[in-house]
Amino acid sequence: MDKETHEQYEYARNRLRQKKYLFYHFVLFLIGSLFMFVANELLKYGEPEAWDIWASTVWFFIIILHFIKVYVIDRFMNKQWEREQIDRLMAKQQNRLRQLEAKIDSEKN
């Protein structure tokens, strides 16, 4: 397998893993929220507080953040974006080194 095909494969594999973990997180949220509801509302654990609603709301907010990371942030900030940023920073560093060398040369003369 050539390098480009291997990179595409790795990218697809990583994206699939991210989406799979998001799905597992969502299923765990549903099951966990159900257990918290049963514990609080039916078994009267932690009464008179409705802690299950607060816990589920916070957990749902965390899932929303996880969803944004997988479907928004990682879609744009992938390996290609990293390479472009590294190339840009390396070019900037090389330019700065050339400027410093030119300054040193001009001070010698």
Model-level pTM? 0.68
Helix, strand, coil abundance in the chain, percent, nearest 5: 90, 0, 10
Residues 6 or more apart whose Cβ sits within 8 Å of residue 66 = 22, 25
Q: Where are the domains of the chain?
A: 1-76, 78-109
pLDDT in tens, 84-102: 889 999 999 999 999 999 9
- Segments of the chain scoring below 70 in pLDDT: 109
- Asked if 62 and 106 touch (Cβ cutoff 8 Å), the reply is no
Mean pLDDT of the chain: 89
Helix axes 51-68, 3-37, angle to 10 degrees: 170
Looking at residue 44, its pLDDT comes to 80
Looking at residue 58, its pLDDT comes to 96
